[in-house]
Amino acid sequence: MAPIRMTASTIKVLEVLMDADGDDDRAVYGLDVVRRSGLGTGTAYPILAKLERIGWAKSHWDDSDTPGARRRYYVLTGEGRAGILEAFAARPNLVARRFAT
């Protein structure tokens, strides 16, 4: 059983992280997760925090000297990718079109 409840919102956040996982620059910053998932900050950020606590994602702060607010970047871990596949294998009724590859 997955250590996180696979709600529609959780799936949207995981889709964004999985989409970014194929890029050369795999990390995606928090506000971009919010924008790309279509979720509010009060929904997306707690999910990202939970994904970090269970070891499915890790994050780091942007260290650049660019002006503006610092960005926190998120990336899936190997454990996270394996957990996603396991969760969807155990619950085939979940929409898993992007996780099957």
CATH number of the structural domain spanning residue 74: 1.10.10.10
Reduce the DSSP state of residue 48 to 3 states and report it: helix
Which pTM value belongs to this model? 0.82
In a domain, 3, yes or no: no
Residue 17 located in a structural domain = yes
Expressed as residue numbers, the domain containing 18 is 8-90
99 domain-assigned: no
The answer to whether residue 33 sits within a structural domain is: yes
Residue 49 has pLDDT above 90, yes or no: yes
Number of domains in the chain: 1
* Residue 95 pLDDT exceeds 70: no
Q: Is residue 2 part of a domain?
A: no
| Structure confidence at residue 56 (pLDDT) | 95
Q: Which residues contact 1 (CB under 8 A, 6 or more apart)?
A: 90
Does some domain include residue 101? no
Residue 100 maps to a domain: no
- The 3-state DSSP class for residue 15 equals helix
